[in-house]
Structures are given as C-alpha cells and as structure tokens.
Amino acid sequence: MKNLLNFLARYNNLIIFLILEGIAVYLLATGNNYHNTRVVNGIRGLINGIEEKINNTRTYLNLREINENLAAENVALRNSIGRLVKRENSLFFSVSDSIYRQQYLHTSAEVINNSINRQKNFFTINKGELHGIKVDMAVTSENSVAGVIIGCFANYSVAMSFLNLDFKLSARIKSNGYFGSLSWDGRDYSHAILSEIPQHVSVNMGDTIETTGYSAIFPEGVMVGTVSDFEKIGSDFYKITISLITDFKKLHFVDIIGNMKKTEQLELEKLFQ
C-alpha cells in the first residue's frame, strides 16, 4: 500500500494529465461529428492492422501443414493423370483392369537429412518400405530431378542425390531432341555438365534440358535445368554447363516416382545385351 501511495505521489502530475487528456478526447469525439468519425476510423484502422498481423502470424505457423496438403494433392493429381493417359493398342487389355494404362505411381515424402558439400551427397526421406518405397525409384522436387532411392528400411529411405559423382542421367536438349550424359562435376551445387552432344548440333543459351526416359527410372520430360554456358572441347563434342532447377539447399518436400513397368523393360533388354 505504501509503495502504491509513493507511486501516485511521484507521478500524480502525469496521471492527472492523462486523465484530463482522455476526458478532453472523449468530449471532442462525442461532441463533434467530424472528430467522432476520425477517432472511430483511427481506432478501426488500428484494430484492422492488429488483426492482419495476427492472421499473418497464424498463416506462417500453418505453412508446414499447407505444404504437406499441397504435396498430397500433387501426388493425387499425378496418379490421376497417369490413369487417364491413353495407350496404343489398348484393345489387347482387359476392360476390367483399372490401372493398366498407368505406368508411374507417385507419392510424396519429406526430406529429413541432406548434404550438399561433399563429393558424394545423399539425403534421407521419412518414408520407406511400409509406404511402398523401393530401390531405384526416382526422386523429384517440384517436377525437377533430385535423386534416386538406393536404400530402404521400414519407415525411412536414403536417396543418392544428383549432387553425387556416381550419379549419371540420360538427358536431352528439349528444342532439338539430342541427348547425352548429364552428371555433376563436384564443384558448384547449382550446376552440372551435359556431355556427348555433337558439335554440329545447335546449342543456345537458355535451352531447356529434360530427361529422356531411357533409364526406366525417370519418366520422360522431367525438367533438369537450362544451358548457362557451352564450349567446344578437343573431341567432337560440346561441354555444356547446365544451371539446375532444383535448389538442393532448400530441398524439403519431394515426389517419389515408381515405374511399374521397369522390371519388364529391364528383363527384355537383358535378352539382347
């Protein structure tokens, strides 16, 4: 009680001023329509600003859930598209077979561990054999190449990152269809090298590079990057530098793609090797 009295005695002038100021503002606002409108609008604007900040904060906190929902929706859409794709000579298949038209199955996963600063990089996802993940399934991020599954346990899988000296990919120049071997040279995490493109081929800055589908792992037409530089080397081929679309420093949600016809293709190809 003594402390309260001391506080009032010390700040009595300020307290009286604030009370009188409040009374003056109240009388001004209630006694004049113009000032009343300005005060109400000011208070309303302040409240709206506070509500907007609260909503922005709530939206930011819900981004993780939103991203997971979007990833699940993308997977559902890709699987639906796969089932709707028509295939030639479809009369040879049973009408009751509801999935014969679909070649690729998609599922989403979250990257829980990742590296980019080694010569052989890998990343771990939070899905495994219990979720249908198998070795040699393709991994993409926002429809661009990210890696290949190389090991699975029940609930987790490890993928070889594109940023790995052992990773090789069959890729082509979209504008003219010429294909070669795409690999990472162990230097810049945002660039790779496309080789085996003959020098008589027209190559331009900004040309789109995509997968060929020849490996039976990645579907045809998955984006890889764009041409950022090229030069003629001693042989008859170009050395083409590709700016990668995937940002491996921000790798988070990924799409796992399984080729349901891979085994059939590989077994047939072995007969002629």
Average pLDDT over residues 234-248: 91
Give the pLDDT confidence score for residue 64 in this predicted structure.
Answer: 60
R_g of the chain, CA atoms, integer Å: 31
Give the pLDDT confidence score for residue 215 in this predicted structure.
Answer: 83
Burial of residue 1, with CB atoms counted within 10 A of its CB: 0-12 exposed, 13-18 middle, 19 or more buried: exposed
Of residues 47, 53, 28, the one with CA closest to residue 38: 28
Is 68 a residue whose pLDDT tops 90? Answer: no
**Of 25 and 172, more confident:** 172
Q: What is the pLDDT of residues 133-145, one digit of tens each?
A: 999 999 999 889 9
> Which distant-in-sequence residues (6+ apart) come within 8 Å of 82 by Cβ?
101, 102, 103, 104, 105, 106
Name all domains of the chain by residue range, CATH numbers in brackets: 2-61 (no CATH), 103-270 (2.40.10.340)
CB neighbours of residue 12 within 10 Å: 10
Q: What is the pLDDT of residues 114-158, one digit of tens each?
A: 999 999 999 999 999 999 999 999 999 988 999 999 999 999 999
